[in-house]
Amino acid sequence: MKIRPLPLLLAIASLSALPLLAHHSFAAEYDDSKPVQVSGVVTRVEWQNPHIWFYVDSKDESGKVTHWAFSGGAPGQLMRRGIYKDVIQPGMMVHVDGYRAKDGSNNANGAKVTFPDGRMVFTASAEDKIPEGKK
């Protein structure tokens, strides 16, 4: 796993110190009454505007795979927070805390990503609701 420790620390430390503008309204797209917690493997990352998207395949106990897509901040916004493209890459195991899209699909706001070693990175825009707690 390729992780830049300093950017991760900066990302955690600067979440409130360097607020950023969302392109969308969280309330317009996501339902804060529907938190989701997904563990799985990252299959694809789109480091593009207006928001990054990363895709996670989650496997249940029966082996059934569910595909999820998580939205984060804009690439430039994240880079000013010290979060670069290599922080999250295909093949990484992640646990994602977020909120499901209002349309009920498996799209969600991916507010907080936790790696197997316990480190966290906040990928959300500042307007997005951040789940409480570590997991």
Partner 1 sequence: MIRSAAFVAILAASGLYAQNASIIVPRTADGKPDFSGTYEWPKASSGERCKCSATVFDRNLMAPLKPGGEPFFEKPNGDPRHDEPRNFCMPAGFPSGMLSANAVQFVQSKNDLVIVHEFQRMTRVIPLDGRPHRKGLEPMYLGDPVGHWEGDTLVIETNNFKRWGLDDYYYSDRNQYRMHSDALTVTEHISWKDAKTLAYRLTIDDPKIFTRAWSEDFTMAAKPEWDATGLYEYVCEENNRCPGGKCPAP
Question: Shortest gap between Cβ of 114 and partner 1 (angstroms)?
Answer: 20
| Pairing mode of beta strands 65-71, 107-114 | parallel
Distance CA 56, CA 63 (A): 15
Nearer Cβ to partner 1 (7/75): 75
On the 0-12 / 13-18 / 19+ scale of CB atoms within 10 A, 104 is: exposed
Distance CA 107, CA 69 (A): 5
Q: Interface with partner 1 includes 22 (CB under 8 A)?
A: yes
Evaluate whether 14 touches 126 at the Cβ level (below 8 Å): no
Q: Interface with partner 1 includes 37 (CB under 8 A)?
A: no
Residues 38 to 77 in contact with partner 1, rule: CB under 8 A: 46, 48-51, 53, 55, 67-69, 71, 74-77
Question: Shortest gap between Cβ of 43 and partner 1 (angstroms)?
Answer: 9
DSSP tag of 105: S
Nearer Cβ to partner 1 (89/119): 89
Binding site for partner 1 (CB under 8 A): 19-25, 27-29, 46, 48-51, 53, 55, 67-69, 71, 74-77, 79-80, 101-103, 105-107, 125-127
